[in-house]
A and B are shown apart, each in its own frame.
Chain A
Amino acid sequence: MGTTGRTTLSARLYALADRIGARGAFLGTLAVLVVVFYYPVGTVLFAAFSDDGALSLAPLWATLTDPFYFGVLSGVIADPASAPGALVGWVEAGFPAVRTGLFGFTAYLAVLGTACAVLVGLPGAYVLARYEFPGRETIRSLTVVPFVLPAIMVAVGFTTMFGTHGTLNDVLSVVGLRVDVAFSLPLVVAALTFYNAPLVTRFVVAAADTVDVRAVETARTLGAPRWRAFLDVVAPQLFPSFLASVLLVFVFDFMAFPIVLALGGLRLATVEVWIYSLAANLDLGEAAALAVLEAAVTLGVTYLYLRYERRGGSGTAGARVERVPLVGPPSLGRLLAAAYAVVAAVLYVGPLASMVAESLTRAGGFSLANYAFLLAQQLGTGGARPTVAVQNSLLFAVGAVALAVPMGVSIAVVTNRSGRLARVGGALLMAPLAVSGVVTGIGLLQGLVFGVDVLGHHIAVTGPVAIVAAHAVGGYPFVVRNVAPLLARVDDDLVAAARTLGAGPARAFRDVTLPLVAPGVVAGAAFAFAISVGEFNATIVLARDTASYTMPVALERYLSNPSVGPYLGPAAAMGTVLLCVTAVSFVVVERLGGRWEP
């Protein structure tokens, strides 16, 4: 009786899901996007196409032809005919350094940052995918933690770790070495790597989890040496996910903003830094023009990526490649893994431990004063209460994941086809990542917080629901990019077989497709969670009172509290709380996610 009832219910649910279908879910996703992203951001970016109210390309043109932004390119854009002459002059002058402008420098920084993220992230992926060792799952879960840390705290950690009088120099001085990287490009690139290398690691590990061991074994049986089997069978299957991570890292690095200013200063200004400054000065027209050009770069790169996303090998299966124990007789791989552990410890454990140490220090000595400050905030009135912030952060993150996963999966399914239109659509749907966060914040303020008049009613949207929606919009692109490469590899015949056996589209999706892309869904969900916990711009705009503050917002408020003076300790204490709470939740989330069998 009970069984029959359940069957009927699930049958009804499937029927409903079949009726809604991926397209229905996709339309729902679009509706959310229009309200909390495209409309508000559109109202700001429109200024880039308007001159005193009339449609015009003048703002964009002015930006494109400004040497400050585009260097020598601006001259070529303004007067293409001058290009050959200028080129000859440049050659005759003996190839002097070329002025590349703000965009040129930003691209340079992004390329450096991306290269380092790959250099650090890929070996990490190799270790996690190839070797089995105690705590492997936990470490994999923790790789997302750097993502949620506010820039000022990372800056504190990096200064303490890599500064002139930092821990690293203390250690190196024993062997007579020292590094001098304060306020310089290498330090900024290291910080960008700190943030983004885990992205490469996570994406590649998620893809490696779906590699079919039987294909590898077939290759080996046919006489291929191990490296050959890897190159011919495994690598092509990992490549789309790897490329997806490279794309995202590049986009993030290209839009790098607070960490660059905090560690490198204005001399290393990027495009996003400039957008922020222009917006702070309410020069919204020029800010919008810059943001449009910035998005043109990031979306263009996304579009290029999408051309390659579907070119990987096909076939996913449940039979996974066995991992080998990390501890064992020395081999080249194991030695490299050990060397990698040292690098990871310096880059990750060092700065994080420095932040924790900072939270336990006041005026040069050990002190619990910073935690006493948190307690006073908790018991006092008016300020941001730590526990409320923790609770909000977790609630919003759970909500954001619950929204971002269906959004991301439905977009991945609907755009899972080749063709230019699908690629353009796919690129545009990545816009929440590719559009300036500063501009998004202004858009939310003007579009949602100030409100609009609809049919004589003034509608303004603020508070928890708006925050969750905004976080989900920030997080779903990670779900899409994690799932789409795996989805492209799913064998259509398997789905077709399920349909022939009588399963509706929803049922076939749940029973056949979803298990095959599950590692991508879990990885994407973890990123969505992290994005939500670490998000600042949209939260501060939409949280109109202390009751909606999250951990990063509370931390920011403790930064400049006059009652504690010029000490970062209280913020570091909140940063430590943030670190612990997110670390624990990532481990829990992934344990739950790992057990999740669709």
Chain B
Amino acid sequence: MLANVVISTLAVCIPSTFLAVLIGVSAGYFLKVKRFKYRKILIRIVYTLSGLPPVLAGLLIYILFSRKGPLGFLDMLFTKWAMIITQVILIVPIVMLYTLSGLKNIDKVLENLDYLNIKGRKRYTAIMKEYSKEIMYAIVLGLSRSISEVGGVLIVGGNIEGSTRILTTAIIFEITKGEFSNALLLGAALLAISFTFNTFLQILQGDVVD
């Protein structure tokens, strides 16, 4: 039972964090470096969306993927994919926002790369190396948001046992039944996963907190 819920949790949170960081960091970089017409208003939208209530994201995805909705033919409502998409929508703006503030001195870094005449793929690898700590922070940020989120995934996932029941929605379910000790146990499992991931990421990067 618990193992099943833990596996489902990982199967939702890992891909959603991965996709959100991939999209969020590149979009954030683009927004930071490139100058174009609607840049300022776009940044303002990102700021707004970073506070998007999970239940609202859940509702929008629900309507989108309901069989009567525009993407209903995909048959994705009440699956992990719907949950992943909801979480990506919630995490991307946060990661973008973080990237915008994390890429300080980027102008200098780019200048140096121009000076050394480093172009193409090498250039992006160099930028990533320079900001690896910031990227790591973005992953930690995304993961903690995705693992603690409940409102959105409950709506689009439906809390189906053995499929879309993850730790947070299982906690809600146990509370509705008045099984508070079970809920606490699931909460402990949630924290344990969070701790494991953070430890893992910190080893990977060297201590992020210096």
Do A and B come together as binding partners? no
List residues of chain A with CB under 8 Å of any chain B CB.
none
Residues of B within 8 A of A (CB): none
